[in-house]
Amino acid sequence: MSIATPTFDTHGPEAGARSEDYLWTLNFGPQHPATHTTLRLVLKLDGERVVDAMPEMGYLHSGFEKIGEHLTFNQYVTVTDRMNYISPMANNVAWHHAVETLLGIQLTPRCTYIRTIIAELARISDHLLSNGAVGLDTGAFTFFLYGFYQREVIYDIFETLCGARFTTSYTRVGGVSHDFTPLVIEKIRAFIRTFPKTLDDMERLLTRNRIFVDRTKGVGLLSKEEATNGSASGPVARASGVTRDLRKDEPYLAYGDLDFQVCCASAGDCYSRYLVRMQEMRESLKLVAQALENLPSGEVNVSIDQRVARPTKQQVYSSIEGTISHFELSMANRGFEVPYEESYAAIEAPNGELGFYIVGDGTENAYRARCRPPSVPHFALFPQLIRGHTLSDVVAVLGSLNIIAAELDR
């Protein structure tokens, strides 16, 4: 992040002083309605045409990785809520997936299914907002409201599940904070019944809408090679023809048991990114329906002999193992065993590969908690996507990349 005058070094020597005279610089952000978050772009314009762009980040840097070295594995989940705040459940799952990889904890079948369901619901709510924002920025306000209404329904499910709508902090080491109740299952079933109709309506509003297609088709082109070379992941990479999806390629949680397809496009423009996200919502809904109908019974947290997940109150008051485990985990100098090792584990978050590189040092705090945010490579790709397009395309490209500053800066 810099406040000083930016320098553009991408001009070739043939761009002489004479043509430079016509260029002007426009500051876009960090406070602008169409950036949606706190990020800044310095655009070099030739009339309406963007000659070059310089993205800046850091306006929302909060030192999450430093905080991660001072909070325990269970406390840090509250910070992950605030990373990609349009799909906090996916961040919760990603964080504890990485912690459990480091500790070597095998989750119960019920827990893997529950986490799969909430991660996919988070993907739907994320895609609804990111596609909605593309629609909003290109003039389709109704589309955005259709999406936002369904996001509210998902928030209601999360509220019924864990009491929080937004900052869910739902997962725990070796389990989750609340098991699914019949009411939650009923609400998710209702969502599965009603959501496809909204999705159909949304597609009818925008997918063949002439104005929207003109605004997004052929805009912000990213080739397959550029996507891989630029470390892109998630829908951005898949819209460019990269077939990588961690749910399929490295099946974690319950994804190995479930039937779904990886959604890809080959054009690599804003329109393909929109299409990939729309289709992924349908696949996510399929995943949620399958996982919910095949939800295994049994314990949701790992067994109390493993001494990682807090026992239930029933176990604390009625069994000696429960009491011991409760005290061991509550006392400051006890807790669970953490190896002197380091590991990386990632999930396919709505935005791309969200991974954590965790170094353990025997204590319940991570020695290093590196978050690999999908937004950083995507935002770095922005200048090459926008070069040659017009100023009005900036918002379309930015929206289709779905840059979330809180995750970008951490």
Partner 1 sequence: MPFTPPSVDDVLAGLTDRFGTLDASVYRGQTRVVVPADLSFDALAWLKERGFDLLVDVTCVDYLEYRDAKHRYGLVYLLASTTTNQRLTVRVFVDDPDPTVRSVVSLWAGANWLEREVWDLFGIRFTGHPDLRRLVMPEEFTAHPLRKDYPLQGRGERHNFPVITRDHS
Residues 178-237 that bind partner 1 (CB under 8 A): 226, 228-233
Q: Indicate the residue among 9 and 305 with the shorter CB distance to partner 1.
A: 9
Question: How many residues contact partner 1, by CB under 8 A?
Answer: 51
Distance CA 203, CA 346 (A): 31
363 binds partner 1 (CB under 8 A): no
Q: Is 37 left (phi over 0), alpha (psi -120 to 50) or beta?
A: beta
397 near 219, Cβ under 8 Å? Answer: yes
- Whole-angstrom Cα Rg for the chain: 23
> Closest approach of Cβ 229 to partner 1, in Å?
5
Binding mask 52-71 for partner 1 (x = CB under 8 A): -----xx--x-x-xxx-xx-
261 binds partner 1 (CB under 8 A): no
CB nearer partner 1, residue 324 or residue 359 = 359
Segment 89-108, which members bind partner 1 (CB under 8 A)?
101-102, 104
Closest to partner 1 by CB, 117 vs 173, is 173
Mark residues 2-21: x for contact with partner 1 by CB under 8 A, - for none.
xxx----x------------
Q: Does 78 bind partner 1 (CB under 8 A)?
A: no
Residue 274 and residue 400: Cα distance in Å, rounded?
7
Q: State the minimum distance, in angstroms, from the CB of residue 194 to partner 1.
A: 37
Q: Compute the distance between CA of residue 51 and CA of residue 220 in angstroms, rounded to an integer.
A: 14
Q: CA neighbours within 13 Å on the CB side: how many for 60?
A: 20
- Note whether 299 binds partner 1 by CB under 8 A: no
- Taking CB under 8 A as the rule, does residue 262 contact partner 1? no
Binding mask 373-392 for partner 1 (x = CB under 8 A): ---xx-xx------------
Q: What angle do CA 84, 193, 201 make, to 5 degrees?
A: 75
49 close to 388: Cβ distance less than 8 angstroms: yes
The secondary element (H helix, E strand) that includes residue 124 is helix 109-137
Q: Which stretch binds partner 1 (CB under 8 A): 29-37, 194-202, 299-307, 350-358?
A: 350-358
What is d(CA 374, CA 384) in angstroms, rounded to the nearest whole number? 17
- Residue of 255, 260, 245 whose CA lies nearest to 113: 255
CB-neighbour burial class of residue 16 (10 A; exposed 0-12, middle 13-18, buried 19+): exposed
Region 318-337 residues binding partner 1, contact defined as CB under 8 A: none
Of the candidates 188, 326, 357, 386, which one interacts with partner 1 according to CB under 8 A?
Answer: 357
The alpha carbon of residue 323 and the mean position of all alpha carbons in its chain are separated, in whole angstroms, by 37
| Residue 348, beta-bridge partner list | 353
* Interface contacts to partner 1, rule CB under 8 A: 1-4, 9, 57-58, 61, 63, 65-67, 69-70, 101-102, 104, 226, 228-233, 242-244, 249-250, 340-344, 346, 353, 355, 357, 359, 361-362, 367-368, 370, 372, 376-377, 379-380, 409-410
